[in-house]
Amino acid sequence: MRGAGSRRGPMKALQNQDPPTWLHNLMTFESADGAVSEDSRQFTSARGRTILVAQARWLLLLVFALYGLAAAVTFASSRYGLFVDTAQIVTLLVAVVTVFGYNTLCHFYYPVISRLRYVDHLQILFDLILVTLLVHYSGGAASWFWPVYLVVSIEAAVLLERRRQVLAMGSLGSLLYGGLLLAEYHGWVASVAMPFVDPILHSDGLYLGLSWFWVCVLNATVALISAFLMRIIRRENQAHRESEQRLVSFLDTANDLIFCVREDGSFIYTNRSWQQTLGYDSESLPQLKLQDIVQQDDKSRCISAFNNLLDGNSGGAIEGKMTARDGRAVNVEGSMTCSRQEDGERLVWGICRDITERKRAQDQLYHLAHHDALTGLPNRTNFIERLQQELAMAKRIGREVAVLFLDLDRFKMINDTLGHDSGDALLVEVAARLKKLLRETDAVGRLGGDEFAIVLGNLNCSADAERVAEKILKILAEPLQVNEHELFITTSIGVSHFPAHHNSPEELVKKADIAMYSAKAQGRNNFKVYNRAMDFDSERRMILETGIRRALERDEFRIHYQPKVDASTGEVTSLEALLRWQHPDLGLLPPADFISLAEETGLIFSIGEWVLRQVCHQVREWADLGLGDVRVAVNLSGYQLQQQNLVGQISQALEDAGVSPECLELEVTETVVMQNPDFAVAILRQLKELGICISIDDFGTGYSSLSHLRRFSINTLKIDKSFVQEVERNATDAAITQAIIAMGKSLDLKIVAEGVETEGQLEFLRGHDCHEIQGYLFSQPVAVDKVTEILRNGLDLKSLQAAT
């Protein structure tokens, strides 16, 4: 590459110009493939100097040839005629061929001749000999060609770096000339007769001496001056080169990636950082174009910025990805500028920096800020953003959106029993199942703890969301293998709809959350769609939340008792203790209103202990009243089951009241037991060993199998009322009830049917040999006075008997 800058001081340029221009100037010295430009190094490299001399020699040969031709033609047409003889012509031709030969070598085969040790000295020597020959055959002492010695002296100054050697070569020229004159003087060589030249000159000592002296003086002077000038040129060049080198080093040590491309995108310069970062070496650059390494996503943007620059517009900051040689994507940001060369060619210069790591860190930060670290799901912020987009789209196209709010039932229990690692593993598995179930267009996020939210976009109708909720309940109910434990979890889901319930993302999530609480209050493991009445429940929940913390110390809890009767005789066999809360403002509240609250707040432990102690004392009181050993069933929350000192606490309560363990029955729901069967097996065995009866409550709603039931140390199965209440209407429920009775019997368990309200249900159960009945048909749960009366007098079965 050539350019005006090649002769200018690069450092000066650096101070005065924009980076691309001074870089451009720098580039005039060194090309992309590392080859050094001829111009810049002619005076500094041996090769360059030899070629320069060879070029000058061609020129001289041409000049001599033209002169010889002109002289020959002129003489031939003059009265002198052609005076050179054959020997002269042959000698001259030999000389010309010789010059032609070694000059060809010098010019075109430098690598070959450079292997000779004194190649520069040799060619100067040849030149001197040939000049002497030329001088001899063109008139000898009177030859017009002796100034060519001066040219050879200049040649010596160009080729040789030491001044002494230049002077020696100049002296050698003078010696050869002197030798020629001496030989002519003594007649050792025949002088060549030339027109206009008096032959006497060849033997005139004075003339010859003066002539030689003149040539010596001039030759020495020219040699001295040339050597001096060459030294200056070389020094300047050296300084110039060092300055260039410093700039190249500066560019190479720069962390920024610097490159220069032609209009077609082909590279002409890249600095070391560029090559190291992208992995392309100087050999691969000539085949490479900028557009080849810009990644597809950024290509059109970069090409248009590039073309903009070529059109003369200023280029702003640009960011994009380049493909490294090994296929890596390298993110860069920087700027490009265009510079026009003297020959009109436009070059585009780019300075950019590798921001891959920064991008990665930013992406990671973004991911961390927008995703849940455990499950990798979008977090609340991200989920709300996604919901916002979904709503915007739904508004445009007039479709519905549903938000599902999921909360795992009794997750805290698993976390506390099995440890946080298992809890985490469970959440990861839940996230995986949700992702697998949902379509790509749906979004699922983890809002915190065991709460997940889902947005279902582009719904055809609201019923679609309910179908999805059902599917979710189903897939999450399937057994989960967490570490070495097989767990069974249930989920409560709340659903809200856009536009029916609200149009803001936060409100929709809130309403789905409210609906989720409603699902929990309705016995968990189900879903509820939001309705306005739930807002009231939500407020009520707040009131309860504040009240329950003081309820125990304010003595606001009551225990009601519901009798269980023998299915065939109608006699009261035992009672079930059912907790009530006498709220100062809201009246008598059923457990469904506050048990889950008590579990969430941890108050269930103290409330549970209170119930146990109350029941034990009551049993003692009845015994003291002469009503015998009444057996009472107490409901045990799943949280109580995993309580460390549960067994000790129960035996202490029995001991304090002086009540036999056989008077106590503990009811644990099937879902709680199945949530972590291994754990339940161990604790139930210990309780049974105390002599306490164990009853599995709400049987049929969980996922226990015959094999599970065998492992549990239980006495009783209580068929869930949802089946019992349908036995007259629903053949499936009737079949399930029948199957439970049969299975219980085969395991030698007592079967109790709860929730019996009609005689038809009673008949069905009696018909299938169910052992005991509990339900409103016989008695509702009643306060202690009333149940004492029942214990004393028995149930009033007259009306029932009359009916049957």
Ligand X SMILES: Nc1nc2c(ncn2[C@@H]2O[C@H](COP(=O)(O)O[C@H]3[C@@H](O)[C@H](n4cnc5c(=O)[nH]c(N)nc54)O[C@@H]3COP(=O)(O)O)[C@@H](O)[C@H]2O)c(=O)[nH]1
Phi and psi for 735 in degrees, rounded to 5?
Answer: -65, -40
Minimum distance from CB of 697 to ligand X (Å)?
5
Q: How far apart are CA 270 and CA 121, in angstroms?
A: 40
Q: Which is nearer to ligand X, 426 or 756 (CB)?
A: 756
Q: Which is nearer to ligand X, 394 or 773 (CB)?
A: 773
CA distances from 196 to 23, 67, 80, 193, 200 (A): 61, 17, 10, 9, 12
Contacting range for ligand X; rule: CB under 6 A; set: 432-440, 468-476, 481-489, 576-584: 576-584
C-alpha count within 13 angstroms, C-beta hemisphere, residue 299 = 11
Among 143, 562, 573, 676, binds ligand X (CB under 6 A): 562
Q: Side chain identity at 458, as an amino acid letter?
A: N
Binding mask 388-417 for ligand X (x = CB under 6 A): ------------------------------
Q: Which is nearer to ligand X, 40 or 635 (CB)?
A: 635
Q: Which is nearer to ligand X, 173 or 755 (CB)?
A: 755
Minimum distance from CB of 672 to ligand X (Å)?
9
Q: Which is nearer to ligand X, 74 or 606 (CB)?
A: 606
Alpha helix (H) ranges present in 321-410? 356-370, 380-397
Binding mask 317-356 for ligand X (x = CB under 6 A): ----------------------------------------
Task: Let me know: does 787 contact 626? Beta carbons within 8 Å.
Answer: no
Question: Which tokens go with 709?
Answer: 């039931």
Binding mask 679-698 for ligand X (x = CB under 6 A): ------------------xx
Among 321, 718, 768, 771, binds ligand X (CB under 6 A): 718
Question: Which tokens go with 334?
Answer: 């920087």
Q: Which is nearer to ligand X, 305 or 736 (CB)?
A: 736
Minimum distance from CB of 728 to ligand X (Å)?
14
Q: How far apart are CA 565 and CA 765, in angstroms?
A: 12
Among 579, 589, 641, 762, binds ligand X (CB under 6 A): 579
CA distances from 204 to 190, 195, 684 (A): 15, 18, 143
Minimum distance from CB of 472 to ligand X (Å)?
24
Q: Which is nearer to ligand X, 579 or 659 (CB)?
A: 579
Q: Which is nearer to ligand X, 75 or 605 (CB)?
A: 605
Helix, strand, coil: what percent of the chain each, to 5?
55, 15, 25
Q: Which is nearer to ligand X, 179 or 591 (CB)?
A: 591
Q: How far apart are CA 42 and CA 48, in angstroms?
A: 4
Minimum distance from CB of 391 to ligand X (Å)?
39
Largest CA distance in the chain: 176
**CA angle, residues 159, 57, 90, in degrees to nearest 5:** 125
Judged by CB under 6 A, the chain residues 206 through 265 that form the site for ligand X are: none
Q: What is the dihedral of CA 614, 616, 621, 626, to 10 degrees?
A: 150
| Residues contacting residue 489 through CB under 8 Å, at least 6 positions apart | 408, 409, 410, 411, 414, 426, 430, 476, 477, 480, 675
Sign of CA dihedral 47, 48, 52, 55: positive
Q: How far apart are CA 617 and CA 230, in angstroms?
A: 121
Minimum distance from CB of 418 to ligand X (Å)?
21
Contacting range for ligand X; rule: CB under 6 A; set: 141-149, 168-176, 403-411, 585-593: 585-593
Element (H, E) at 267: strand 267-270
Binding mask 587-606 for ligand X (x = CB under 6 A): ---xxx--x-----------
Mutual angle of helices 462-477 and 420-437, in 10-degree steps: 140
CA distances from 420 to 404, 452, 723 (A): 26, 18, 36
Question: Which tokens go with 539?
Answer: 């407020």
Number of residues that bind ligand X (CB under 6 A): 26
Contacting range for ligand X; rule: CB under 6 A; set: 268-276, 341-349, 435-443, 634-642: 634-642
Name 583's bridge partners: 587
Q: Which is nearer to ligand X, 697 or 772 (CB)?
A: 697
Minimum distance from CB of 622 to ligand X (Å)?
18
Minimum distance from CB of 708 to ligand X (Å)?
19
Minimum distance from CB of 580 to ligand X (Å)?
7
635 binds ligand X (CB under 6 A): yes
Minimum distance from CB of 356 to ligand X (Å)?
58
Binding mask 742-781 for ligand X (x = CB under 6 A): ------------xxxx----------------xxx----x
Alpha helix (H) ranges present in 453-588? 462-477, 505-521, 533-551
Footprint of ligand X on this chain (CB under 6 A)?
562, 576, 578-579, 590-592, 595, 608, 611, 635-637, 667, 697-698, 718, 721, 754-757, 774-776, 781
